[in-house]
Homo-oligomer: A and B are copies of this chain.
């Protein structure tokens, strides 16, 4: 079953489904994005560094970067002395160069953040609910945006470059049978939430899977940007994933790439089950409920779960093994450099989970594969909302997504 909302969209119609040619403005745009991408990855770089890396002439880089500085995307840093020759002037991203809105629509709450060009959170809005409902969600977005925009100067306001939505794929399917009326959940199935929110905004609106978005946050704002290709797991209420190929978030032809929660892994009795059935936080919740332990910290305090007893240990062990199988399967498809694991959990638990995966991995038959190294994610609980905000950023300012330079 396909989610009609999951056709990534921008503000412009794209009448040509095919490849497009390149002209001078496309070339310039590509080179500008390249400069911004390199500066983002390295923190700060001198014009001469960029020229060497890109093989563009020093003059060309000079022109491009002066323009980017003039446009407020780059800032000069103190000249670097100590080596022969004129000191180089490192250029860094200007945090105020552009702003982005990230919207996470979850099963228990919606969250909207305003972030700056380097991923700093400038404001946060939150709406908890028993179950999500499209009308309420759109109202929340409308009022939150109105509120945050009034707090900005006109100059800042004009620099809001886009909004991204992170939402579970097939939200209606995974809804809690408990609280959610069937009819409300079915609304999600047919409603094009992206268009509804686009109607509120004069900047482009993008939508992607929540775990894929979280992966985008890791790529754009995290410390994993030394990696060109990695597979990413976000362990939330349900386990999900994302894919980075050639340094770009890859969400696939239908937007459902990195649907790692649906990966078949060996189950307790030998029969295959889905990763989601072993590595989700709801699985831990059920185990705690069955043991008459209080599971509420799982949702309310992701920074510290307190003592959850042996149920946690068992979950970490089983989830880690399941993730290890998923990693081997993913490595059979793409020879990822790394597997990055993050989630809605305390950093200490995340670390234990990564250790469990690292421990289980060598016990799986991986003959013929180059196994990825396993790493912790570096964003944490905010990854989905920040990832949502990273979507317009990537689309507009990085060499990414549809990145062949196109006509303008």
Q: Is the CB of A335 within 8 A of B245?
A: no
Q: Is the CB of B370 within 8 A of A254?
A: yes
A310 to chain B, nearest CB (A): 27
> Is A373 an interface residue, CB under 8 A from the partner?
no
Taking CB atoms, residues of chain B closer than 8 Å to A330 are: 332-333
Q: Known contacts being A253-B228, A253-B335, A329-B332, is A54 close to B18, with CB within 8 Å?
A: yes
Minimal Cβ-Cβ distance residue in B for A31: B21
Number of copies: 2
- Which residue from B18, B253, B335 sits with its C-beta under 8 Å from A256? B335
Size category, A interface = 35 or more
Minimal Cβ-Cβ distance residue in B for A2: B370
A286 to chain B, nearest CB (A): 18
Taking CB atoms, residues of chain B closer than 8 Å to A23 are: 27, 56, 60
Kindly list the 6 A-B residue pairs having the minimum CB-CB distance in the complex, ordered from nearest. A270-B270, A21-B54, A21-B56, A263-B332, A256-B335, A252-B335
Minimal Cβ-Cβ distance residue in B for A26: B27
Taking CB atoms, residues of chain B closer than 8 Å to A257 are: 333-335
Q: Known contacts being A18-B38, A38-B19, A53-B16, is A262 close to B368, with CB within 8 Å?
A: yes
Taking CB atoms, residues of chain B closer than 8 Å to A273 are: 365
A143-180 vs B, CB cutoff 8 Å, 1 = contact: the mask equals 00000000000000000000000000110010000000
A26 to B28, CA, bound (A): 12
> Is A81 an interface residue, CB under 8 A from the partner?
no
Known contacts A256-B335, A259-B335, then 10 further A-B pairs from the complex at CB < 8 Å, ordered by chain A residue: A2-B370, A19-B53, A21-B31, A22-B405, A229-B252, A250-B334, A252-B335, A254-B370, A263-B332, A329-B332
Minimal Cβ-Cβ distance residue in B for A52: B16
Chain A 275-325 residues near chain B, CB threshold 8 A: 275-276, 325
Taking CB atoms, residues of chain B closer than 8 Å to A26 are: 27
Taking CB atoms, residues of chain B closer than 8 Å to A16 are: 52-55
A334 to B256, CA, bound (A): 7
> Is A136 an interface residue, CB under 8 A from the partner?
no
> Is A356 an interface residue, CB under 8 A from the partner?
no
Q: Is the CB of A365 within 8 A of B335?
A: no
A369 to B2, CA, bound (A): 9
Chain A 248-270 residues near chain B, CB threshold 8 A: 250, 252-264, 266, 269-270
A50 to chain B, nearest CB (A): 9
Taking CB atoms, residues of chain B closer than 8 Å to A331 are: 259, 262
Minimal Cβ-Cβ distance residue in B for A273: B365
A27 to chain B, nearest CB (A): 5
Q: Known contacts being A55-B21, A274-B367, is A329 close to B335, with CB within 8 Å?
A: no
Chain A 329-376 residues near chain B, CB threshold 8 A: 329-337, 364-370
> Is A399 an interface residue, CB under 8 A from the partner?
yes
> Is A30 an interface residue, CB under 8 A from the partner?
yes
